[in-house]
Amino acid sequence: MSDDLKQRALAYHAEPKPGKIATAITKPCEDQNDLSLAYTPGVAAPVREIAADAEMAYRYTGKGNLVAVITDGTAVLGLGHVGALAGKPVMEGKAVLFKRFADIDVFDIEVDAESPQAFIETVARIAPTFGGINLEDIAAPHCFVIEKTLIEQLDIPVFHDDQHGTAIIIAAGLLNAIELQGKTLENVRIVCVGAGAAGIASMRLLATLGMPKQNLTLVDRKGVVHSGRDDLNEYKQEFARDTDERSLADAMDGADVFIGVSGPDILSVGMLKTMAAKPVVFALSNPDPEIRPEQALAARDDLIMATGRSDYPNQVNNVLGFPFIFRGALDVQARKINAEMQIAAVHALRNLAREPVPQAVLDAYGLESLSYGPDYIIPKPIDERLIDRVPPAVAKAAVDSGMARQAYPDCYPKI
């Protein structure tokens, strides 16, 4: 980070008042009558209704539009285990995105927990406050246990965005990219570098969408995840292959797809040149990708490439997903965000990229034209059509799969 950017970022967060979020009052509170309704004695009426029927909390409180963004500070951005409090600027930033893109209210919560179990117990105890929980920046492998346990214990959506948000955006972009390259998910060979939360969740989702696991090679810091290793946790073992490949270079020879959720400069030009014809490279390490687009495109003119950065085409950005996925889930008071809802989000995003791009999007990015193709495989985050496409798809999937407390909203398009 340059000194200039650092100073501007610090000023942005400090002035004119510290932080990025605040609360707001949604009802009149101007006179004695308003006060008697907002608090005592009038507030006793909704209290009694909720005591008699807990579902009335959705009618009489802000629960139904309130998400908790919660971290333990163990995997904050690329900074690692910086602690719960140091993760607060990121959680506030997530709150800004929820509100800006989907009008969802957020309380950011930083939990100083001494163990995964302590974190789980804390979140479970405060869960009645919320309509949904977004887990954020929790290190693997604890994040898998934490999310699974909370999903089992709670009756509101629990969604670890570093896992499923990333997976959904990767899947949407990848389905389009491999189609443009004349291939299918069922017959491509995929190499994924990074066996943490994002990598494991992405591979699970791709398998659900039809990718044969035998066509995937997972690579971690020690090399290929293969069945002969005795140092694999249960999550890596799920993708261990019986193979003679040991290094990333071995795995890349003849591969159709590279997905990087690891670190900078992992993929060399030499490795890229050994990939199959018409390859796809998702180099998603931020801010420095596994291989620079300039290098990759100079080496392979038949390549489709995506990164996590906004200054290159095909940005894989979680803001395309989580605000709109939660919007759809909240609007039908979903109990969970299940696989059907995630797949619905994948296809909604995938299909939107195939439609004509509005002028407002072109103007926002300083472009004269943009259409579905190698440089546009996934919608831009600023595309205002996202709110009209993704939430209805997620809500319908929730209703159809039995996850919804409420019917599909009348205000949504019939899909």
Confidence of residue 204 (pLDDT cuts 50, 70, 90): very high
Mean pLDDT of 166-188: 97
Give the span between the Cα atoms of 403 and 383, in whole angstroms: 28
**Contact (CB, 8 A) for 207 and 213:** yes
Which residues partner with 133 through β-bridges?
Answer: 68, 158
Give the span between the Cα atoms of 371 and 97, in whole angstroms: 26
Instruction: Tell me if residue 30 falls in helix, strand or coil.
Output: coil
DSSP letter at 137 equals S
**Contact (CB, 8 A) for 24 and 30:** no
Query: What's residue 287's pLDDT?
Result: 86
Name the average pLDDT for the chain.
Answer: 96
Kindly state the tokens that stand for 262: 């690891």
Query: Of 322 and 77, which is predicted with more confidence?
Result: 322
Mean pLDDT of 164-177: 97
Query: What's residue 319's pLDDT?
Result: 95
Query: What's residue 1's pLDDT?
Result: 73
Q: Which of 41, 37, 17 is nearest to 28 (CA)?
A: 37
Query: What's residue 411's pLDDT?
Result: 87
DSSP letter at 334 equals B
Query: Of 1 and 325, which is predicted with more confidence?
Result: 325
Residue linked to tokens 């709110």: 387
Alpha helix (H) ranges present in 114-222? Answer: 116-126, 142-153, 166-180, 197-209
pLDDT in tens, 109-146: 999 999 999 999 999 999 999 999 999 999 999 999 99
Q: Is the pLDDT of residue 2 over 90?
A: no
Rounded to 5°, the CA angle 358-325-332 comes to: 115
Domains of the chain: 18-156 (3.40.50.10380), 164-307 (3.40.50.720), 318-400 (no CATH)
Q: Is the pLDDT of residue 279 over 80?
A: yes
Mean pLDDT of 213-228: 95
Using alpha carbons, list the distances in angstroms from residue 45 to 61, 65, 88, 130, 134: 12, 21, 36, 21, 31
Confidence of residue 414 (pLDDT cuts 50, 70, 90): confident
pLDDT in tens, 84-113: 999 999 999 999 999 999 999 999 999 999
Residues above pLDDT 90, as percent of the chain: 95
Give the span between the Cα atoms of 24 and 182, in whole angstroms: 51
pLDDT in tens, 351-385: 999 999 999 999 999 999 999 999 999 999 999 99
Positions annotated as catalytic residues are 39, 94
- Euclidean distance between the first and the last CA atom of the chain, given in angstroms as a whole number: 45
Query: What's residue 387's pLDDT?
Result: 97
Give the span between the Cα atoms of 263 and 310, in whole angstroms: 17
Kindly state the tokens that stand for 299: 């080496």
pLDDT in tens, 293-344: 999 999 999 999 999 998 899 999 999 999 999 999 999 999 999 999 999 9
**Contact (CB, 8 A) for 312 and 293:** yes
